[in-house]
Structure 1
Amino acid sequence: METTVRTRLVEVVVPVHNEQRALRASVARLQTYLAGTFPYGFRITIADNASTDDTWQIARELAAELPNVRAVHLDAKGRGRALRRVWSESDADVVSYMDVDLSTDLDAFLPLVAPLLSGHSDLAIGTRLARDSRVVRGPKREFISRSYNLLLRGLMGARFSDAQCGFKAARAEIVQALLPAVEDEEWFFDTELLLLAERHGLRIHEVPVDWVDDPDSRVDILRTALDDLRGLARVARRTLWGAARLPVPARVRQAELPKGMAHQLPRFAVVGVVSTLAYLALFSLLRQAAPAQAANAVALLVTAVANTAANRRFTFGVTGSAGAMRHQFEGLIAFLVGLALTSGGLWLLPAGVSHGVELVAVIVANALATLARFLLLRVWVFNPRRRAGR
């Protein structure tokens, strides 16, 4: 009988918090799959972060029962914290992780790590947004996922398609060099790591995956979305002011913002903050006498006109009255995009929610509308080549 010589080691981390229901079956299934099909050496590490149920006890039992399975315990909660702990101490060639519910088809695991073991790529991610991916999930999670990744592409210039799929891997030497600069310890950890990798010119490989949503998922979608928005603001600020280079391979280069964007983004952000505050105040005032959709439309229209005028003058440096009406008309295209996003966010809310929940929904949707507005204003309405041609 021929035996496979396994000369490389891949560490698979399964971060868990209060997962006593799914842990045993998932880890047993993962271990059986890798032992039977994976052509490289592997180690499964169950990373329990501050579980309060029987998760840690089950993890220790699995480590004692199954070969190539171990368990580590952290006293503090956080998926990013668990991954940082295991990845930073790993002696494997490639480190990876997957969600405990195994929502992603395991047949995608070898295509995920193979380019890393060959040296072709530095990091690899599963993507649910590729044309070849087969995904089963509800409309709310679909809307939030696509909106978040659109925000990443437009605001941060990200080229990867799916930041939050729980199916990622990286060369250990690369991720261990990047980890000191990653600040987040929870759900934004993935996004921050990928943005940092792109800023250093590292190669990110994407694998289309088949993915089935876990109906028992206990992720607080709203809280996670708000935490991600705060994380994006922090990373954007750090990118604008510059950040120290990390000791990654010398073949990579520092990524730069497109010409002109370094001074346009802060000014647009200031105008955007003022516009958002005015929008929220007007929405709250109108909401006392009108339905949510009507209050949203009126508040967005008024602030969109003021926003276009302010960005025309302060962000893109266009003075004088020439073209002002055309700019306002074209700015209404961005208004319609914003109206669709905010109306869609309100539509997704269940009936009878509180006014506070409505406000949070329109804040998230308005952030996406702001991104669309900046892109339209920069590349179309106030494009200097277009003005020069006229």
Structure 2
Amino acid sequence: MTVIDSATENVAHTESEGGIISWVRPKRVDVDLVIPVYNEEEELDDSVRLLASYLLGRTNEFGAPVADGTRAAFTWNIVIADNASTDFTWAIAAKLCEDFPGFIRAIHLDEKGRGRALKTAWGQSQARVVAYMDVDLSTSLANLDDLILPLLGNQADLAIGSRLLPQSRIRRSIKREFISRSYNLLLRTYCQARFHDAQCGFKALRLETARKLLPLIQDDAWFFDTELLLLAQYQGLRLREIPVRWVEDAGSTVDIFDTAVKDLQGMARTRRTLNSLSSEGTGEKENARAKTGANATAKAGAGASANPAPALLPDFRGALIPRKLSYTV
């Protein structure tokens, strides 16, 4: 692992650790904001410089210089998570670390996958909140406070941007709008999802929430977001969904049809997992009741009802899906 940090006056030293190279900021911050990238040499430099300048109060969200800018309301670190890029992405990330010492760190993974990059970056974090946003900065930087502050104030366990709320202001193609709405409708029908937009690249979690959910997530690619939210819903975590200003990146290289197929596969797998967890939970409760015997007292019955099992709703095939989510907009 190669390390550059302000505590050693940016002196670099090298260690080997599982193919991961990083520049580490030593002190704990409020937020680690991860930018997962794969072959993004065209966008990475401009996007990260704009993001850092905005957080430092040097520019507005459009990149225009401001004389009296306000720094972010939280301490932060930008983490560039390079998942197996084959172009000059990693070299650009290294230069950004040098240009913003103490504010930007980078990790390089030998395997692809946005989910894998987020698991690694969030798993290493010591920040109070872990977040991510797409490198194209499609979501307005002005929405960052709405995403982060409720988590720092312990008003929510996770927060997500939603392009499908009525208050959101979105600019994207009809094709992508149709695919997005269809996917989220399928999630609500098939998995009883109660959130509006699973795939917006603008999410944040309290660190303890991330540590609870990350070991349960099986997907290492694009379905990571959806699986994260379904597991959070199953566990009854507090979700804050915020409206955003969002502009489609016309140069996106994501294959939306291939991604859609993999998302459907992930949806079926996650539904089976949640059904299994629900069945196990129901079986455990039935066994506990059986052990009380036929002469269980009314008091024991009242105690059981005071801690009810998660509400289960049948989907259109009769499968049982937990429907638990403390949800606010």
TM-score (norm 2): 0.74
Structure 1 unmatched ranges of 5 or more: 1-5, 246-251, 268-390
Question: AA paired with 1:99?
Answer: D
Contact 2:222-2:263 within 8 A present in 1 as well: yes
2:129 to 84, 94, 101: 94
RMSD: 2.1
Query: How far did residue 89 of structure 1 move?
Result: 1.3
1: CA distance between counterparts of 2:195 and 2:180? 13
Q: Equivalent of 1:33, from 54, 61, 73?
A: 54
Q: 111, 122, 140: which is aligned to 2:157?
A: 122
Query: Are 2:79 and 2:105, in contact at CA under 8 Å, matched by a contact in 1?
Result: yes
Where does residue 55 of structure 1 map in the other structure? 89
Larger Rg over CA atoms: 1
Displacement, 1:254?
A: 6.4
Q: Distance in 1 between matches of 2:121 and 2:238?
A: 22
- Which one of 54, 65, 71 corresponds to residue 99 of structure 2? 65
2:41 to 20, 45, 57: 20
Question: 1:265 — aligned with what?
Answer: 318
TM-superposition CA deviations, 1:80-107 (whole Å, max 9, x none):
0000001011000000000000000000
Indicate yes or no: 2:242 matched with 1:207.
yes
Percent of aligned pairs with the same residue?
A: 52
Distance 2:82 2:227 in 1: 22
SS at match of 2:318: helix
CA shift in 2, pair 1:101/1:262, >3 Å: closer
Give the drift of 1:69. Answer: 0.4
Q: Give the aligned partner of residue 224 of structure 2.
A: 189
In 1, are the aligned partners of 2:147 and 2:204 still within 8 Å (CA)? yes
The answer to whether structure 1 residue 11 and structure 2 residue 32 are counterparts is yes
Shift of 1:122: 0.3
Quote the residue 2:79 is aligned against. 45
Deviation by residue 1:187-234 (Cα, 9 ceiling, x = unmatched): 000000000001000011011001000010000001000000000000
Alpha-carbon spacing, 1:197–1:254, altered in 2? closer, same or farther (3 Å): farther
- Supply the AA of the counterpart residue of 2:38: H
Residue of structure 1 aligned with 2:113, choices 75, 78, 88: 78
The residue matched to 1:185 in structure 2 has which SS?
coil
Give the structure 2 partner of residue 219 of structure 1. 254
Q: Secondary structure of the equivalent of 2:186?
A: helix
* 1:65 partner amino acid: D
Counterpart amino acid of residue 147 in structure 2: L
Cα distance in 2, alignment partners of residues 42 and 255 from structure 1: 37
What TM-score comes out, normalization by structure 1 length? 0.63
> Once the 2 structures are TM-superposed, how far is the Cα of residue 255 of structure 1 from its aligned partner?
3.7
CA shift, 1:256, in A, is 3.5
1:16-51 superposed Cα distances (whole Å, 9 cap, x missing partner): 000000000000000011111311110000000000
1:226–1:35 Cα change, 3 Å: same
Could you give the per-residue CA deviations for residues 105-127 of structure 1, whole angstroms, max 9, x where no partner exists? 00000110111000010000000
Which letter maps to 2:42? R
Q: Cα distance, 1:257 vs. partner?
A: 2.0
Residue in 2 aligned with 1:132? 167
Q: Which residue of 2 aligns with 1:198?
A: 233
Superposed CA deviations along residues 288-345 of structure 1, whole A, max 9, x for unmatched, are xxxxxxxxxxxxxxxxxxxxxxxxxxxxxxxxxxxxxxxxxxxxxxxxxxxxxxxxxx
Is the Cα contact below 8 Å between 1:199 and 1:254 reproduced in 2?
A: no
Q: Which one has more relative contact order, counting CA pairs under 8 Å at least 6 apart?
A: 2
Q: Counterparts in 2 of 1:213-362, with a 5 A limit?
A: 213-242=248-277, 255-258=310-313, 261=314, 264-265=317-318
Shift of 1:73: 0.2
CA distance in 2, matches of 1:253, 1:82: 37
- Name the structure where helix makes up a greater proportion of residues: 1
Deviation at 1:175, TM superposition (A): 0.9
1:348-377 C-alpha deviation (Å, 9 max, x unpaired): xxxxxxxxxxxxxxxxxxxxxxxxxxxxxx
- Which residue type is aligned with residue 72 of structure 2? F
Q: 2:312 is paired with a residue of what secondary structure? A: coil
Structure 2 CA distance for partners of 1:52 and 1:206, relative to 1, 3 Å? same
Matches of 1:227 and 1:199 in 2, distance apart?
A: 22
- Distance, in Å, in 2 between the alignment partners of 1:122 and 1:103 is 24
Deviation track 1:48-86 (CA, whole Å, cap 9, x = no partner) reads: 000000000000110111130011000000000000001
Cα distance per residue 1:259-315 (max 9 Å; x no partner): xx2895259xxxxxxxxxxxxxxxxxxxxxxxxxxxxxxxxxxxxxxxxxxxxxxxx
Does structure 1 conserve the Cα–Cα contact (< 8 Å) formed by 2:192 and 2:315? no
Alignment size in residue pairs: 254
Q: 8 Å contact 2:140–2:246 — kept in the other structure?
A: yes
Find the aligned partners of 1:184 and 1:197 in 2 and give their Cα distance.
15
Q: What residue number does 2:23 align with?
A: none
In 2, distance between residues paired with 1:28 and 1:220? 27
Amino acid in the other structure paired with 2:51:
L
